Amino acid sequence: MEQGGRENMVKTAVGVAGGAALLSPVGMPVVHGLAGLAVAGLGIFTVGSLAFKAIGAVTGMENPLKSKKPVDREVIR
């Protein structure tokens, strides 16, 4: 048997075993924990975006992170 064939067989076996472990009663809390982390991350991202927009609206700045210096677009040779 070729080395590539063995590697593919091992990868397939690990994938099947990993999927079966996540669907087992012991693995379900892991799945729920990962989903909870995703929801919490989305919430943190949303709050950060809204806070950034609110600060920009209060201070009257279009984008506080951009520099007010004009950018020289000339290519340096």
Question: Tens-digit pLDDT profile for the chain (77 aa)?
Answer: 455 677 888 888 888 888 787 777 777 787 788 888 899 999 999 999 988 888 877 777 666 566 666 656 665 65
- Write down the domain spans for the chain: 3-59
pLDDT at 1: 47
3-state secondary structure of 75: coil
pLDDT for res 44: 93
In the chain, DSSP finds a helix count (H) and a strand count (E) of 2, 0
Measured distance CA(8)–CA(2) in Å, rounded? 10
In this prediction, residue 46 carries a pLDDT of 93
